[in-house]
Structure 1
């Protein structure tokens, strides 16, 4: 029979059990803390695609040489702040004025005078055309009034002829009755019958004349003359048509002279630029010198880059993401970013999404994320809340960015992370 444990042994065993329980509780607590932190980290990034390849950038403003010459200015260094309209560089040339300038100026003046003369001629023709239109309108009104009077006279003649015809018909009926009773001679009846027929023809002729007058009046109201021996339109209308043709020719001449004068002006300006002895380049914006393209004493040609500037006050964030995620990004959505070396998280809004290769070719950004092996896309973010950066240019600073995704984009993201899409393609292939 086993001996009973002493009280000291029992107390030692209880302490060991308590220590084991305490250790297990601490381990479970640590594991729960780790799981909580992991779940919180995963939840904070759910619905976003994260990238560490992001940089603060700005649009590059390029200053080019307007003339050929040598750069002569104060010391301009990269990172130097410049105010808008401040003189940046001066380009000097030793070339002398060419006599060709005088010839070009003479040609331009001659073309401008010819154009002014053509415009004066056009104004005179336009005034004549207005007068002819007024005369034609007055002539048409007179023709309409004259024809209306003739038509009224013919209408009255038709009425008179109709009255006479009716009277002759009544006389013919009475003579015919007298002839039946033997009180009238047949010759008188035949004469009255002929008179009735003649009166009916006179009525028809008068009505036809009235219809002809009506047609002539309608044509005259439209500016067309239909009288025998006359032209189809009045003299004023004919002259107006001729003036319109001349106006078309004058307008074409004015257009040609304007084009020739513009070409002469461009040649003159080009010659002046070519013969210009100096030019001052001023800063178009307030910003920082990003790159110096030409130093003091360097010879430049027209169009050469002499300076590049950036406006640090309008900086934005450019983030690189895999190109296959372009369709998942939510335009206008709120992204989150944190500058490297800082703990505070800030908010930005998605402005645009484009191919990284296209943006690199255009070269309009001061800074771009590092190039990667796989095809990437660039997401531009306009900062909504920016850090306190007084007297500090953030262009070139890197950041960690969470880009918002459309609905369903996060699910595809986790499917690709877990490799479920590869498994599905393997099963269906």
Structure 2
């Protein structure tokens, strides 16, 4: 009888113990999950972005790849060509060069047209000079003849004066005769001096005429042909100066054309290729837009560099250090898979690192984001950006005690 009563009592005690354990577990799971039970933080898969920039200035034309498409390393994503205004600049330089060429040809024609005119005027000047020199030579010959005649007449009258003077002193000749002879001798000497002056003047005029300078007032120091030749020479000198300026300007324009053509050959077109295997994540410029050099064009999510991000409380950021190895778990190819990962960074709104990720991770003021580089043993068939998973790293009180005992 007593054995029958003790059996239900032991069963009730076991039920009460089981119920107590269940309530204790439920209480620990609800209120103390980080102390007793293993808690695996939830995170998401992310990837580093690679920004493509324009190597030259130009007009961009994107290919058939659209945002979200998979791309391969070396695949052409866009093409940059010189903007249309570059073609206008080259066309303007070439038109300016043609215009300068026409002006240079016109000046050369004007200079060539002045040549025969200047030669004709020079010939007329030489003919006039020869005529003047010949005329003065004839006048000099006449003056020399008159000078010789004046010298002979002066000698004759001087001899007569010398014969009359003794006779007048002896009263064989009258005083009037002596005065007349003396006057005639003085006149002859004056005539002789005048002829010498005339001869000297004519010789000076001939010497000047041989040098192209005419002393007669009627010539104004130069004949009309000589004046016209000087005007033509001055006009030709002016045209030659303008021609030299235009040739120098044309040379400068031609150097600019050559430099522009070399620039177009070297940098007239650039092909933008994907530097990594990944996903075209963002297109930063519209098609057919004109952009400047180094302008960002697009961003590619690098699928070869997959990261796993976990938002954690700052108070727990000392449980892991940079370089620590962990295990992450997320879906891949339709099933959950585990991968080795290594902690490579910490991010927060206050102290974010410089790398740019495909998915922006917002964190609270008291949170920090752990970043783990996932190690794939083989190339990923798909780029799992945005998929959620778990960090296989428990930080319960039991785990902490175990790690301390192991340390």
TM, length-normalised to structure 1 = 0.42
TM, length-normalised to structure 2 = 0.44
